[in-house]
């Protein structure tokens, strides 16, 4: 009996759906018009995006030329955080400060701390170069003599 009752409920829903579809007629012509309007709106949106993109590219050309000219005028070392060039025959105060990565007028404590950090990374016992370790030590000695306190 429970099955019979559930069938009548389903049947009642089907009747309500049929009555609703009779009261609100939806013809194929209405659906076609609505679809056509949607497609036209999408097409206009795509065309607007294309025109905006074209306009943006036209504006970008002169800006790109100005940017590329500016980049060409700048020295290539401006883009690198590394010191270009080799070591001088006799180390200068500037070169020593570049090796340790500190200011040329740093205190002895800063020189010591910078030397310790760099030597940990470049020590020959840890796979570093003996030549670089010697240059780091030379930079520390030079700045230690000339630094204050």
As given in the structure block, the two tokens for residue 102 are: 């500190």
pLDDT of residue 52: 92
pTM, 2 dp: 0.44
As given in the structure block, the two tokens for residue 51 are: 């025109």
pLDDT of residue 113: 94
- Residue 88's pLDDT band (boundaries 50, 70, 90)? confident
- Residue 40's pLDDT band (boundaries 50, 70, 90)? very high
Above pLDDT 70, what percent of the chain?
A: 72
Above pLDDT 90, what percent of the chain?
A: 26
What is the chain written as a DSSP string? -HHHHHHHHHHHHHHHHHHHHHHS---HHHHHHHHHHHHHHHHHHHHHHHHHHHHHHHHHHHHHHHHHHHHHHS-GGGG-SSPPS---SS--HHHHHHHHTS-TT--HHHHHHHHHHHHHHH-GGGT--HHHHHHHHHHHHHHHHHS--
């Amino acid at each position: 009996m429970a099955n019979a009752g559930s069938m009548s409920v389903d049947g009642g829903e089907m009747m309500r759906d049929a009555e609703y579809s009779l009261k609100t007629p939806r013809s194929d012509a209405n659906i076609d018009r609505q679809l056509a309007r949607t497609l036209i709106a999408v097409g206009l949106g795509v065309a607007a995006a294309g025109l905006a993109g074209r306009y943006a590219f036209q504006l970008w050309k002169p800006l790109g030329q100005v940017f590329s000219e500016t980049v060409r005028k700048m020295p290539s070392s401006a883009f690198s955080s590394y010191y270009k060039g080799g070591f001088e025959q006799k180390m200068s105060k500037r070169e020593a400060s570049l090796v340790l990565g500190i200011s040329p007028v740093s205190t002895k404590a800063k020189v010591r701390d910078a030397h310790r950090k760099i030597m940990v990374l470049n020590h020959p016992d840890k796979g570093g170069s003996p030549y670089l370790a010697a240059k780091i030590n030379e930079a520390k000695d030079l700045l230690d003599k000339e630094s204050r306190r």
